């Protein structure tokens, strides 16, 4: 039960993430600096499974995981591992090729269904973003599929799944249309602003409920919001340990980036 969106700019990119959880679940720890040796990353920690749903690495990557309730969940096995450990492991690699190789070798039956996003920037210079590679991986309990996202927006829900997702996507599309964006994913992202998506992730359309992006149910709600900005020099991670509709200042964390793909002079 989560929602992710992103923006691509000429000199940086941003990721916005609502984490929805049961109210009875233990509160997550705020972003921690994790030394994977040889890499460093920032990630909030789920004390239940020991993993995370979101990580930013010193190589400018962002790794995000959502539960795939659209899939056939099937029976839960005692041998299955926390999906959050996938984020922890992927954040330990220094490049996309190593992550891709590891994913190809993974025994997916050890995990319940998920959607995984890996954002990999390619920098043209220390002030220019040449390209943002966005890879989406879906495990539906039967097949593991890699694909390109249809929109710079994705959501999941365990309740009235198709109806909820249709409403949330409609909210995003209405925002995109009002910004008069083009049809390509890259350009449609650029036409929106940070403030647009901050408001979207706080929104209660049609009301504060299971259907809204900022989700509120009797048993669950949006329990945290993350806003991550990545440029060639550093990553800024703003973490809100509560529903984003609540007025409060973020906890801000910063990670110095190791940029290895800028062409040498």
Q: Are strands 220-230 and 29-35 parallel, antiparallel or unpaired?
A: unpaired
Q: Is the full-model pTM beyond 0.95?
A: no
Structure confidence by residue, pLDDT tens digits, 157-174: 988 899 999 999 999 999
Q: Which residues of 133-169 are buried (b: 16+ CB within 10 A; e: fewer)?
A: ebbbbbbbbeebeeeeeeebbbbbbeeebeebbebbb
Query: Would you list the domain boundaries of the chain?
Result: 2-158+219-256
Q: What is the rounded average pLDDT for all residues in the chain?
A: 90
pLDDT at 260: 60
Structure confidence by residue, pLDDT tens digits, 162-205: 999 999 999 999 999 987 644 444 444 458 999 999 999 999 99
> What are 137's strand-pairing partners?
116, 146
Which residues contact residue 35 at a Cβ distance below 8 angstroms, ignoring those fewer than 6 apart?
none
Superfamily in which the 2-158+219-256 domain is placed by CATH: Penicillin V Acylase; Chain A (3.60.60.10)
CA 100 to centroid of chain Cα atoms: 18
């Amino acid at each position: 039960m989560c929602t992710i969106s992103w923006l691509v700019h000429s000199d940086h990119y941003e990721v916005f993430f609502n984490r929805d959880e049961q109210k009875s679940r233990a509160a997550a720890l705020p972003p921690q600096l994790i030394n994977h040796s040889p890499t460093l990353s920032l990630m909030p920690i789920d004390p239940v499974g020991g993993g995370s749903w979101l990580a930013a690495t010193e190589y400018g990557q962002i790794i995000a995981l959502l539960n795939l309730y659209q899939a056939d969940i099937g029976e839960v096995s005692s041998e299955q591992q926390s999906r959050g450990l996938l984020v922890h492991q992927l954040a330990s690699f220094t490049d996309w090729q190593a992550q891709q190789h590891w994913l190809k070798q993974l025994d997916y039956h050890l995990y319940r269904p998920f959607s995984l996003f890996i954002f990999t920037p390619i920098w043209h210079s220390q002030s220019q973003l040449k390209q943002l590679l966005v890879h989406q991986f879906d495990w539906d309990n039967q097949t593991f599929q890699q694909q390109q996202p249809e929109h710079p927006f994705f959501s999941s829900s365990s309740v009235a799944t198709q109806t909820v997702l249709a409403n949330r996507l409609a909210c995003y599309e209405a925002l995109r249309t009002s910004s008069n964006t083009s049809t390509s994913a890259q350009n449609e992202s650029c036409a929106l602003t940070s403030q647009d998506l901050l408001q979207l992730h706080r929104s209660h359309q049609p009301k504060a409920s299971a259907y809204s992006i900022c989700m509120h149910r009797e048993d669950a709600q949006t329990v945290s919001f993350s806003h991550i900005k990545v440029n060639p020099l550093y990553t800024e991670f703003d973490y809100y340990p509560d529903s984003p509709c609540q007025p409060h200042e973020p906890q801000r964390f910063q990670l110095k980036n190791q940029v290895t793909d800028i062409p040498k002079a």
